Structure 1
């Protein structure tokens, strides 16, 4: 996992540096202690480890460069219709990805629906590492997890 984190621009920080970048040095604790423990437990349980996060997608104008006839100001035609969708995804260190797209607000109901669909895609337990988004910590999600202990287990990233 350290290779992936380094490739994605992360680094293991010394204790003094970690305190400046995170509230409690959580990233360093994740890389050195929490992540190896999750990985070892998943290996012992024959579980798969994935990282999950929600994302919002909007169709707003992206200002940038465009092409047009030389000497003429380019005109970009738009319909004026805007839309937005939300998505929740999970990806493994090996690149296996699961995604659900929905139009409602990202909250506990959407998280439970994602976990239910997501857990059904595996024939073994899944350890899902997520951030501290309020939807991940809600009572509805916790009660769903209690009934599905053999399918999905959540682990939380340190706050930053």
Structure 2
């Protein structure tokens, strides 16, 4: 996930336990700090492991236009279930489809996806898509352990 000013950047809210070689992060039961996750090529998803019952946050930082968020932007968090290959939209701008996975906004430019009380069904590929003026996205693969 690139971190320059022209692309979105993905942050994971967690306690740091990072394996730099595989871009994998293990999240504890109580996330407390923010780390910046990125993949070497910018295309592959970041791999994250979380324990059942933990609460996690995926941050999607969108680029600012003249110091502010553009009015005509679209931000979507989506999920691909690896077992069923079903692709689901979780949030669109301010609307969340469930209370288990919710969106919040952190000024000035962060669209944060919260997964409360992680369970096995949360494992899969999460993608933050930002449309303005062109499509940009970041991906993270969540692995869930006991």
Fold similarity call, TM over 0.5:
no
Structure showing greater Rg: 1
Greater fraction helix: 1
Of Structure 1 and Structure 2, the greater strand share is in 2
